Amino acid sequence: MKIIEVKDYNEMSLKAAEYIIEKVINNPRIKLGLATGGTPVGTYKNLIADHRKNGTSYQHVTTFNLDEYIGLSGDNQNSYRYFMNEQLFNHIDVHESKTFIPSGIVKDMQAECLYYDDLIEKHGGIDLQLLGIGQNGHIGFNEPGTSFRSNTHVVQLAPSTIQANARFFNNIEEVPTKAITMGIASILRSKEILLLVSGESKNDAMFKLLNGELTENFPASALKKHPYVTIIADKAAVADLKLPC
């Protein structure tokens, strides 16, 4: 794992955007794996600013998001489809038909899970997967205890995740308790992974990621098995941690 330490959230967001832009310029047909949550918002802002200023085009780019809440349709303001439209897709020239997010409202969720992994595979796989990390080490919505062999699946969200994500809802009761997420194996099939980590609240997760063992009790530790992982972490996230040189 390569670790890039930066000053703060803004620098992390800028560096991450530069990283992605370079990949898009080098491969205009790139398949990007995208994430939601607070962490990538600044990165998306920088991608939009660059698109407006320098004209980086996403016309031929295909995107796959990690996860979606069960029960929320795309026009629900708390759905991840809505989030992605608002935070990125509506502001760049990506084709809507090339932006994929698992559906949280179809009747047959098992079929949707199989379909999503299949869809990614049919597109030749994800070239670059952007990730955030939960305080409990979740990646996507893969909570502690998730099998490293998991493909896209339906999950029961951990109380700590519901609590952490309640800030986006009117009250905690509105936070869905289930989600559909790419599994750990689905994520690890990406050719390259870019993990963003910011803030003191992620310090403990960073410590476990760098110093802890490979264990399904800490989902992000699966990233140790991947040959091409870059982490961009800010000072608060790595404070007092010994970083490998």
Ligand X SMILES: O=P(O)(O)OC[C@H]1O[C@](O)(CO)[C@@H](O)[C@@H]1O
Which residues of this chain interact with ligand X, rule CB under 6 A? 35-39, 67, 132-134, 140-141, 165
39 vs 63, beta carbon nearer ligand X: 39
57 vs 85, beta carbon nearer ligand X: 85
Is 123 one of the annotated active-site residues of the chain? no
Beta carbon of residue 102, minimum distance to ligand X (angstroms, whole number): 12
Beta carbon of residue 179, minimum distance to ligand X (angstroms, whole number): 7
175/169 Cα distance (integer angstroms): 7
Catalytic-role residue among 65, 136, 142, 151:
136
> If we measure between CA atoms, which residue out of 228, 192, 140 comes closest to residue 23?
192
Is 192 one of the annotated active-site residues of the chain? no
> Which residue is at the shortest CB distance from ligand X?
132
Catalytic-role residue among 67, 68, 112, 127:
67
Task: Please give the order of strands across the beta sheet that includes 192-197.
Answer: 2-6, 229-234, 192-197, 128-131, 31-34, 62-65, 99-100
13 vs 56, beta carbon nearer ligand X: 13
197/204 Cα distance (integer angstroms): 11
Is 67 one of the annotated active-site residues of the chain? yes
> If we measure between CA atoms, which residue out of 230, 154, 232 comes closest to residue 197?
232
Beta carbon of residue 114, minimum distance to ligand X (angstroms, whole number): 21
Catalytic-role residue among 143, 151, 165, 234:
143
58 vs 141, beta carbon nearer ligand X: 141
Is 138 one of the annotated active-site residues of the chain? yes
Catalytic-role residue among 46, 138, 142, 165:
138
Reported in sequence order, the residue ranges of 45-200 that DSSP labels E, i.e. its strands, are 62-65, 67-69, 99-100, 128-131, 153-156, 178-181, 192-197
Beta carbon of residue 43, minimum distance to ligand X (angstroms, whole number): 11
Q: How many CA atoms lie within 13 A of 98 on its CB side?
A: 17
Residues 6+ apart with CB under 8 A from 106: 112
Task: List active site positions.
Answer: 67, 136, 138, 143
